[in-house]
Amino acid sequence: MRRKTELRPRFLPLPRQSFFLLGPRGTGKSTWLRQVLPDALVIDLLRPEVHRELAARPERLRERVLGAPERREVVIDEVQRVPELLSVVHGLIEERSGRQFVLTGSSARKLRRGGVNLLAGRALQRTMHPFMAAELAAFSLADALVNGTVPLVVTAAIPGEVLDAYAGLYLDQEVRAEGWARNAGDFARFLEAISFSHGAVLNFANVARECEVQRRTVAGYVEVLEDLLLAFRVPVFARRARRATSTHPKLYLFDTGVFRSLRPAGPLDRPAEIEGAALEGLVAQHLRAWIAYSGRRCGLFFWRTRSGVEVDFVVYGPGGFWALDVQGSGQVRPRDLDALRAFRADYPECTTALLYRGAERRLVDGIWCLPVDDFLRVLHPANDVIALPATTRR
């Protein structure tokens, strides 16, 4: 039984042409498509009988499509399960019949292997992310920091149980089934070890030591997580750098709740450390979704000097320039703004903000201090990253 959660429309705009819709399982791809394309012909490759038929004879997809001339939209769910269908779709698009094809998937690796480049220029690529706070009528920061915002979890009757099973679902159904990790035990230890790298600079050697495998094995496992859309890297911002910066990216799991479910906790773990990583990850996934949905052509970065001065997030591109630091404290101390001051000294064009757990909105030395709860609630694709009154924009 699902929990009744009041939702607002998803922020992903519906393209007019054919497109790939990628995203981890449970992010609501199929639900959204049923809402925006209620009359589409749906080919669900998660159904065993459909999968068997089209895997044996991919050309039967053409027969199905031509046999339903009244259906102008065709949705192929989890297309990576039969990547050979891409050639059939390519041929149907070339016929210029006016049909729109929507190809959903949760594995970028299998799509690439199956020849996704055949559709280059003929199909857009879009990504469905976990809920943004503004997509929920009742957003709770406390709940989001524990359970995350994956729709499958948020709408579950018992979110914690679904979340606990989430990593196992991918381990069993994706990793083992495709043979991407020869040793399931090694991969399970890797999942636990990589949770300590959430929000940290990625160091393959340290992770390899923790899970007792070779460095190149860890590098391959990280690629698997990225290909399954379960993790992403944030590179260093080094444009027009005036001082030496770090060269290694940071790693985030795609959802805070998934991070919490994988991260072991015990007497030797400080709750504030886990809570801080969860908060930073929640901001990261929101910024990533904002970039995907807004169409601003921005990139997500972080800034770290060789001396250790760090700004958690830099959003930069033709659509704007913002620097954001995240802290779990409810108070703003002068030294909390030092990193943003250093960044602004090098990049005076940017708008800077400290996101904290307090309740007051402040402007301190030209730096915005914003309650992180409020920031997430108003982060909307129609707005700037930091939605400020026109008279106060820098």
* Res 180: pLDDT: 60
> In which residue are the tokens 């269908």 written?
85
Q: 11 near 293, Cβ under 8 Å?
A: yes
| Domain positions in the chain | 19-128, 134-392
Other C-beta atoms lying within 10 Å of the C-beta of residue 305 = 19
**Which pLDDT value is given to residue 391?**
43
Give the other-Cβ count within 10 Å of 165's Cβ: 13
Report the topology of domain 19-128: Rossmann fold (3.40.50)
| 287 within 8 A of 302, measured Cβ to Cβ | no
What DSSP element (H or E) covers 222? helix 215-227
The rounded distance, in Å, linking the Cα atoms of 180 and 80 is 15
pLDDT tens, residue order, the chain (394 aa): 455 556 678 999 999 999 999 999 899 999 999 999 999 999 999 999 999 999 999 999 999 999 999 999 999 999 988 988 988 998 898 888 889 999 998 877 667 665 555 565 677 889 999 999 999 989 999 999 999 999 999 999 999 999 988 877 766 666 666 566 566 678 888 888 999 999 999 999 999 998 888 999 899 889 888 888 899 999 999 888 777 777 899 999 999 999 999 998 777 678 888 999 999 999 999 999 999 999 889 999 999 998 889 999 999 999 899 999 999 999 999 999 999 999 999 999 999 999 999 999 999 999 999 999 999 999 999 999 997 655 444 4
Say what the pTM is: 0.92
Bridge partners for 121 per DSSP: none
**Alpha-carbon distance values, 161 to 119, 233, 281 (Å):** 39, 28, 21
Q: How far apart are CA 19 and CA 75, in angstroms?
A: 10
Q: What is the pLDDT of residue 171?
A: 64
Q: Is 342 exposed, middle or buried (0-12, 13-18, 19+ CB in 10 A)?
A: middle
